Amino acid sequence: MRALSTSLAVAALFALAACETSPKTDSTAVLAPSAQDYSQLMADLNTLAADDMQGRDTGSEGGAKARQYIVERLDALGVGPSSMGRLQPWSAQGRSPDGPKTFNGTNILGLIPGTRVSDKYIVVTAHYDHVGTRDGHVYNGADDNASGVATMLELAKRLKENPPEHSVLIVALDGEERGLLGAKEFVEAPPVPLSSISLNINFDMTARANVDGYIWVTGTYQHPYFRPLLEPIPANGSIRLAFGKDSPDDKGSDNWVFASDHGMFHRAGLPFLYFGVNFHEDYHKPSDDVDRIDPAVFQSSTELAIESFRRIDAWLDK
């Protein structure tokens, strides 16, 4: 997530842009933590961020192992493949510490049919790659982005239990860290016509919302009609939604419009919303490990993301 130097990332932790907007919901409105069983959510996080995944770099043995795990999870959930199949392989030139390099990656695609608007799609994305190993250190990327994939899989589980109104493409993207390569391939060769995609919802870094108490929603500046749907959502535990990092006044590392895979959907003219937490001290460091994640905070962030999806799904195309 977010091509940014470490120094800028640390600085961003302490300096928020003036135009960022915290929620306007009633400060007393707090949703009690859900009684859901989060054992699988935490198991997905732990598995994808384990040392044996070798940092999940695109084209690596660890990346292939992570891909196989996600495929098995979708199969176990009963999430069928897309019209083009389960896998979307691609080859593209991307960035690396040694300069431009050709990467061979693979996106993972799943489809959950909708009950009301089956010919319109919400594309839910989360990148499963990270930066691999460097100088003998494994960069496990627990928050970036094992967390986003785990949130997406939890959403997929809930949608199988209680089907969505729109058809939903569940897409684990590869090559985000190398320049949004998998997302670029997806929008250039989609399994459904771009005109049938109502929205991209992208999860990237959904665990460590205790940085500032928020999971941020980027994209309501471009698509303001979503904000009245989401603003009334109460806090879950100690975590709330916040809106911003998407206006012309948000500069540099505080503007997230093209910070992750949703940027390719935006460039293609498709509506998007991005859910993610603020920068923290372990961003793109070997210390981005599961033991730095507060399970209750991660679970609250995931609940807010899922509730946001439900409200959008019920409102769109009416």
Tell me the per-residue pLDDT of 102-128, one tens digit each, with 9 for 90 and over.
Answer: 999 999 999 999 999 999 999 999 999
- 10 and 43 together in one domain: no
Q: Over 80: is that where the pLDDT of 253 sits? A: yes
Q: Which one is predicted more confidently, 23 or 195?
A: 195
Give the separation between CA 284 and CA 162, rounded to whole angstroms.
36
Give the separation between CA 244 and CA 17, rounded to whole angstroms.
9
- 41 and 9 together in one domain: no
Give the separation between CA 18 and CA 62, rounded to whole angstroms.
40
Give the separation between CA 291 and CA 36, rounded to whole angstroms.
22
Q: Over 80: is that where the pLDDT of 177 sits? A: yes
Report strand pairing: 133-134 vs 137-138. antiparallel
Residue 97: CB atoms within 10 A of its CB come to: 8
Residues 6+ apart with CB under 8 A from 98: none
Once rounded to an integer, what is the mean pLDDT over residues 125-151?
Answer: 98
- 222 and 263 together in one domain: yes
pLDDT at position 16: 36
- 256 and 119 together in one domain: yes
For position 112, which CATH number holds? 3.40.630.10
pLDDT at position 35: 75
- 132 and 261 together in one domain: yes
User: How many structural domains comprise the chain?
Assistant: 2
- 90 and 5 together in one domain: no
Chain center to CA of 277 = 10
- Parent domain of 13: 1-35
Give the separation between CA 105 and CA 98, rounded to whole angstroms.
18
Tokens found for residue 248: 């012309």
Q: What is the mean pLDDT of the chain?
A: 92
Tokens found for residue 51: 């040392």
